[in-house]
Amino acid sequence: MEISVTINGTSHTHDVEPRTLLVHYIRDVVGLTGTNIGCDTSSCGACTIHVNGESVKSCTVFAVQADGEDLLTIEGLADGDTLHPMQESFRQCHALQCGYCTPGMVMAAVSYLNENPDPSEREVRLGLEGNLCRCTGYHNIVKAVLHCAAGGEQ
């Protein structure tokens, strides 16, 4: 089936099998490999992208369901060489270790702050409950999200 999606502002049209998962479409067909696959069971959040501005686990969506939608992946977050404030906060707060969960964490965090711009620490932890960091680096991840919510730069 032919689908057309906008990813990071660029239109893409491809013929896909109905069973193609959105994450596989993004990585293998479009070639944007910043979105990672972790658990494959909609638990870990590594594959989190935005669909129409909201965080979604792209391993649990068929590509055909995204037909006509506006998608944002980690590659589309920065403005040229200028990191998105959330990416900059992750950098400043050392909010990554191995980095595997990071794209999903950042996308989930950006979506979360859109819904709750001034969260408490507990709210950040609950807001990121769909994302696992197997380095267990949660402390600095939460710190980075709070840093970003507070305006970023020191």
85-144: which residues touch other proteins (CB under 8 A)?
A: 108, 111-112, 115, 125-127, 129-131
* Strand, coil or helix: 144: helix
Question: Residue 82 CB, nearest distance to other proteins (Å)?
Answer: 27
Cβ-based neighbours of 100, under 8 Å, separated by 6 or more:
36, 38, 46, 134
Question: Residue 48 CB, nearest distance to other proteins (Å)?
Answer: 6
Residue number with CB closer to other proteins (41 or 154): 41
What gap in Å lies between CA 91 and CA 95, rounded to an integer?
6
| Full DSSP string of 120-136 | -HHHHHHHTTT---TT-
- Can residue 40 be called a binding residue for other proteins (CB under 8 A)? yes
Residue number with CB closer to other proteins (92 or 116): 116
Q: What are phi and psi of 30, to 5 degrees?
A: -80, -25
Q: List residues near other proteins by CB under 8 A.
A: 1, 17-19, 21, 24, 40-43, 45, 48, 51, 54-57, 60-62, 64-65, 108, 111-112, 115, 125-127, 129-131
